[in-house]
Amino acid sequence: MATVEVTFTPLPAHVRTARLVATAVARRSGVDESLLDEVRLAVGEACSRAVEAHRRHCPAEPVRIEMTDQDQRFVVTVSDHAPTAPARLAAPATDNGIHDGAGYEAIGHDGGSVFPAGFGLAVISGLAEDVRVLSTSSGVSVRMSWPSTAGAS
């Protein structure tokens, strides 16, 4: 399968579309039906985190999703372009060892954080078999993967 790339305006309403596209691409890539809900939920969580970061720091920049097959795995990378401050880079690892370099989570109606830092990544790690987070000064990328039959002989 060729790489599928989607960019979208950082609005919460577009997260639903991103989930639907990722699920359709996963199905076409040969991800087992029993894993499609996990793909949908993990991509939704990663996109929600990216949307919130963009809304705070760079609302004019689009969120980027890349979906591809690599070595019989369906791989999704959700990237934001929100700057990461040094203080946020020092965020502690979650219980499963995933580093929450972004340091942001879902925001409540009062503007306060609803969940502790790292909560979204903990949810994602429970849904995806392999999760990697890359945090740089130009943003955060969350890479998730699931087994697929693409390229299987």
Res 21: pLDDT: 97
Res 119: pLDDT: 67
**Which residues does the chain have with pLDDT short of 50?**
86-115, 153
Tell me, yes or no, whether 61 lies in a domain: yes
Tell me, yes or no, whether 120 lies in a domain: yes
Res 148: pLDDT: 94
Residue range(s) defining the domain that contains residue 119: 4-93+106-147
Tell me, yes or no, whether 98 lies in a domain: no
Q: Which H, E and C letters describe the chain, residue by residue?
A: CCCEEEEECCCCHHHHHHHHHHHHHHHHCCCCHHHHHHHHHHHHHHHHHHHHHHHHHCCCCCEEEEEEECCCEEEEEEECCCCCCHHHHCCCECCCCCECCCCCCCECCCCCECCCCCHHHHHHHHHCCEEEEEEECCEEEEEEEEECCCCCC
Tell me, yes or no, whether 78 lies in a domain: yes
Tell me, yes or no, whether 100 lies in a domain: no
Residue range 133-149, pLDDT digits in tens: 988 888 899 999 999 98
- Look up the CATH number of the domain holding residue 55: 3.30.565.10
The domain total for the chain is 1
